[in-house]
């Protein structure tokens, strides 16, 4: 009986030790899977330098559908939301030369942009988070993230229709079917951001780019839209539709 007790006790210790080792292994693996993205980052630089050449969807880009080209030709520049201080959409936001900050929390990641005081929340998988209703759409979409292979993968959908959703400078819209996938990872001290955007209504194929950001000490000069200033630039625009009644924002 005493021998059986010793054997059971030994078996229990071995089992517990194995359990601790297994849990420790899982914990270490999980830790290795989560990159350290927390901090302040400069706006992205393209391979070879520069920050626009690799990540701007061009006015006559071959990826644009006929629908996108037709909309682009029909929309009046004066109707663009940016003249009412609507912020740049995702992913066009990254083409503006402003720093941003990533904040990693247990159940979410927040991105603070230096332009327009924009803050995005990425809800991490495996935690309770609000699920949008089928009829809910958002200007910056609904973002869900996960850590995988040493990177943060973010998938954002549920965007509102946006007249400037793919490019505010070239009047390229996006639909409620736009989906943006972002992959944040580290390469030494730098942050690597890879972005892929799909929208079957306005893109024949995904629009992709990759940029590198260096750590910075602060957010730099913040930029916030001033309504009168934004509308003042419309004085130099010639309306495509002069028969339309004058609207308040172009009375200059």
Question: What's the domain range around 231?
Answer: 39-250
Q: Does residue 210 belong to any structural domain of this protein? A: yes
Q: Does residue 21 belong to any structural domain of this protein? A: no
* pLDDT confidence of residue 71: 95
Q: Does residue 4 belong to any structural domain of this protein? A: no
Q: Does residue 212 belong to any structural domain of this protein? A: yes
Residues 6+ apart with CB under 8 A from 250: 78, 231, 234, 235, 237, 239
Asked if the model's pLDDT at residue 195 lies above 60, the reply is: yes
CA 240 to CA 243: how far, in whole Å?
9
CA 68 to CA 200: how far, in whole Å?
10
% residues pLDDT > 70 (the chain): 84
Residue 35 vs residue 239, higher pLDDT: 35
* pLDDT confidence of residue 27: 42
Residue 125 vs residue 9, higher pLDDT: 125
Q: Does residue 237 belong to any structural domain of this protein? A: yes
Residue 120 vs residue 237, higher pLDDT: 120
Residues 6+ apart with CB under 8 A from 210: 47, 54, 192, 193, 194, 195
Asked if the model's pLDDT at residue 13 lies above 60, the reply is: no
The structure's pTM equals 0.83
Identify the band that residue 137 occupies on the pLDDT scale cut at 50, 70 and 90. Answer: very high
- Average pLDDT, stretch 166-176? 94
Q: Does residue 14 belong to any structural domain of this protein? A: no
Residue 226 vs residue 27, higher pLDDT: 226
Asked if the model's pLDDT at residue 7 lies above 50, the reply is: no
Identify the band that residue 245 occupies on the pLDDT scale cut at 50, 70 and 90. Answer: low
Asked if the model's pLDDT at residue 244 lies above 50, the reply is: yes
Of the candidates 236, 226, 246, 248, which has an alpha carbon nearest to the alpha carbon of residue 77?
Answer: 236
- Average pLDDT, stretch 221-240? 82
Asked if the model's pLDDT at residue 141 lies above 70, the reply is: yes
Q: Does residue 214 belong to any structural domain of this protein? A: yes
CA 93 to CA 116: how far, in whole Å?
10
% residues pLDDT > 90 (the chain): 59
Total domain count, the chain? 1
Asked if the model's pLDDT at residue 135 lies above 70, the reply is: yes
Q: For tokens 């009986």, name the residue.
A: 1
Q: Which of 36-50, 176-190, 199-213 has the lowest mean pLDDT?
A: 36-50
């Amino acid at each position: 009986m005493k021998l059986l007790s010793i054997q059971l006790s030994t078996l229990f210790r071995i089992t517990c030790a194995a359990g601790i080792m297994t849990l420790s292994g899982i914990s270490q693996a999980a830790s290795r899977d989560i990159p350290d993205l927390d901090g302040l980052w400069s706006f992205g630089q393209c391979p070879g330098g520069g920050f626009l050449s690799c990540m701007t969807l061009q006015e006559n880009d071959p990826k644009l559908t006929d629908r996108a080209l037709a909309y682009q030709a029909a929309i009046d520049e004066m109707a663009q939301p940016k003249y009412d201080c609507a912020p740049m959409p995702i992913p066009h936001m990254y083409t503006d030369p402003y720093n941003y900050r990533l904040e990693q929390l247990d159940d979410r990641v927040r991105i603070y942009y230096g332009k327009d005081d924009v803050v995005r929340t990425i809800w991490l998988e495996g935690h309770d988070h609000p699920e949008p209703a089928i009829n809910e759409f958002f200007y910056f979409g609904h973002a869900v993230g996960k850590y995988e292979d040493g990177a943060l993968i973010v998938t954002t959908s549920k965007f509102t229709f946006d007249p400037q959703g793919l490019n505010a400078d070239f009047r390229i819209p996006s639909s409620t079917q736009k989906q943006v996938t972002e992959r944040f990872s580290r390469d030494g001290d730098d942050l690597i951001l890879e972005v892929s955007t799909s929208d079957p209504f306005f893109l024949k194929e995904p629009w992709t780019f990759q940029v590198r950001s260096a750590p910075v000490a602060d957010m730099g000069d913040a930029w916030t839209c001033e309504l009168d200033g934004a509308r003042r630039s419309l004085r130099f625009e010639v309306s495509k539709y002069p028969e339309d009644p004058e609207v308040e924002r172009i009375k200059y």
